[in-house]
Amino acid sequence: MIAIDEVRDYVGGAWRRPSSARGTDVLNPATGEVIGQSPEGTPEDVAAAVNAASAAFPDWRALPPAERIQYLFRFKQLLEEHFEDIARSITIENGKTLGEARGELRRGVENVEVACGIPILMQGYTLEDVARGIDESMFRQPLGVVAAITPFNFPAMIPLWFLPYAIACGNTFVLKPSERVPFSIARVVELIEQTGLPRGVVNLVNGGKPAVDALLDHPAVQAISFVGSSPVARYIYARAAANGKRVQCQGGAKNHVVVLPDADRETTTQIVADSAYGCAGQRCLAVSVAVTVGDARDWFRKSITDLAASLKVGDGLGNGVQMGPLITPASKQRVEGLIAKGSAEGATAALDGRGAKITGHERGNFVGPTVLDGVPASSELTETEIFGPVLSVIHASSEEQAIDIITRSSYGNASSIFTGSGAAARRFRNQIPTGNVGVNIGVAAPMAYFPFSGWKGSFFGVLHAQGRDAVEFYTDKKVVIERWPKEWSRKF
Ligand code: NAD
């Protein structure tokens, strides 16, 4: 086991100390304790990982898909055996509750399971006699070295949106995880090592912007997968594309939920609270704005405020804790600043989570659940991704107006509607410009065998993470057209 305070790279099948000096402190967000230091990452560290991946590619690509997936079956087994250990590590470095950490890891493991289907998923197609005596076939082939750059909020799950598919398709892989949460993914990579996977097929390189830029510029890297905030997504999309790489970049979000007057009150309140306050609002699918329509305004405002006020906030490892801290002191300060701004711009804080104090955890980055009622359309909060436990409640006089509010957002990650009406739900599903849509579902997170979608400012690219989209992203199509005239054949 790697000690909790050591951040190491995994390159060519060996663990090594990054060459750069200390970069970022890694904190336990619940206690404020420094639990390690992430390096800045250097072009040399990245080059070492990419070279190892390049060297491993020819043999790995030649291994039949059915043999490649045997490593994934072993990986899945090891993830199950070490499930609790990894979940605890996620809670310690990210702050989410143990239940949430387990949920995240489960969703990650599901991607390993789906990638085990690669002998079917990667198949091409053929047609005999596209012209007389001529057959045409499409084969999918791996790209070479591919890289993923991932965010802090799902330390284990998001790397697993990419890694299993990339290697199952025959690529070799370099991962640059978030410098704020380097430990859980190191545990996951230790398990990959235990599968006996050939050296260099999976590599881990730590660091921040210098490491990212080196990956974006390295000529041997064929494809980049990114998940993180929209400004960085936009930057990575442009720079990697300018370098001729295939890119998929999932960005930030501002998700809305529409509550119609006929929604089931109890279920809606429960689900919206889970969506807004789960993972302390640090989910790209977190509901940030509830748009109440007509009579829903009064009952929803009261029920969500009551429920939010009852949530137990604390260290994610603690018994019965329902919401953990934010990732850093800077995040806490930023979120509290946005609550202040919303209030100054005309919203009423029906519940104000600023200054939350947890006994015994005075240095933790806690912000309590917050409900901001009546955020005006002109407020900065309308467009800002808060990424904290803050639910804005706004009111619309009709379903059309609610849809219009969502349509005007520059983001398009997810939206949900709560209603008892199939017709209203169908209209919403049909018209709403977001990539993930929930109907009486608060966190519309696609299963591993569906693409994790996202539109507008929440996604840059064409093919999404997970499932068939991942297979398309990590392979190129080769079309072969063949003629074999009878008269050219030797007689047998
Ligand atoms: P972030 O953009 O700060 O960091 C993401 C990754 O980019 C990290 O590995 C980081 O090292 C790197 N990075 C940061 N700044 C960089 C820069 N200037 N140049 C090059 N690389 C840089 O994101 P975060 O704070 O770790 O994660 C939270 C964000 O991720 C939120 O905006 C959230 O909505 C988004 N997110 C989106 C999805 C999705 O599926 N759309 C999923 C999870 C998180």
Q: In this predicted model, what pLDDT tens digit does every residue of 374-412 receive, in sequence order? A: 998 888 888 999 999 999 999 999 999 999 999 999 999
Beta carbon of 413 within 6 Å of any ligand 1 atom:
yes
Beta carbon of 97 within 6 Å of any ligand 1 atom:
no
Q: What is the pLDDT of residues 272-281, one digit of tens each?
A: 999 999 999 9
H/E stretch holding 8: none
Question: Does position 3 have pLDDT exceeding 80, yes or no?
Answer: no
Q: What is the pLDDT of residues 291-304, one digit of tens each?
A: 999 999 999 999 99
Beta carbon of 229 within 6 Å of any ligand 1 atom:
yes
Residue carrying the six token digits 């104090």: 357
Strands 125-131 and 134-142: antiparallel
Residues 6 or more apart whose CB falls under 8 angstroms from that of 386 comprise: 281, 288, 335, 338
Is the CB of residue 447 less than 8 Å from the CB of residue 465? no
By most ligand atoms within 8 Å of CB, the mutation choice from 90, 153, 215 for ligand 1 is 153
Beta carbon of 251 within 6 Å of any ligand 1 atom:
yes
* Residues forming the active site: 284
> Could you give all domains of the chain from N- to C-terminal order, each with its CATH number?
9-251+458-479 (3.40.605.10), 255-439 (3.40.309.10)
> Counting atoms of ligand 1 from 1, which one is nearest the CA of 180?
26
pTM: 0.97
> Which residue has a Cα nearest atom 39 of ligand 1?
250
> Counting atoms of ligand 1 from 1, which one is nearest the CA of 149?
9
From CA 444, how far away is CA 447, in angstroms rounded?
9
Q: What is the mean pLDDT of residues 54-62?
A: 98
CA of 173 to the centre of ligand 1 (A): 19
The pLDDT mean for the chain works out to: 96
Residues 6 or more apart whose CB falls under 8 angstroms from that of 371 comprise: 301, 304, 305, 308, 349, 350, 351, 391, 393
CA of 151 to the centre of ligand 1 (A): 4
Question: Does position 22 have pLDDT exceeding 80, yes or no?
Answer: no
Position 323 confidence tier, pLDDT thresholds 50, 70, 90: very high
Residue carrying the six token digits 């663990």: 15
Beta carbon of 205 within 6 Å of any ligand 1 atom:
no
Question: Does position 1 have pLDDT exceeding 70, yes or no?
Answer: no
Beta carbon of 458 within 6 Å of any ligand 1 atom:
yes
By most ligand atoms within 8 Å of CB, the mutation choice from 152, 230, 386 for ligand 1 is 152
Q: What is the pLDDT of residues 337-382, one digit of tens each?
A: 999 999 999 999 999 999 999 999 999 999 999 999 999 888 888 8
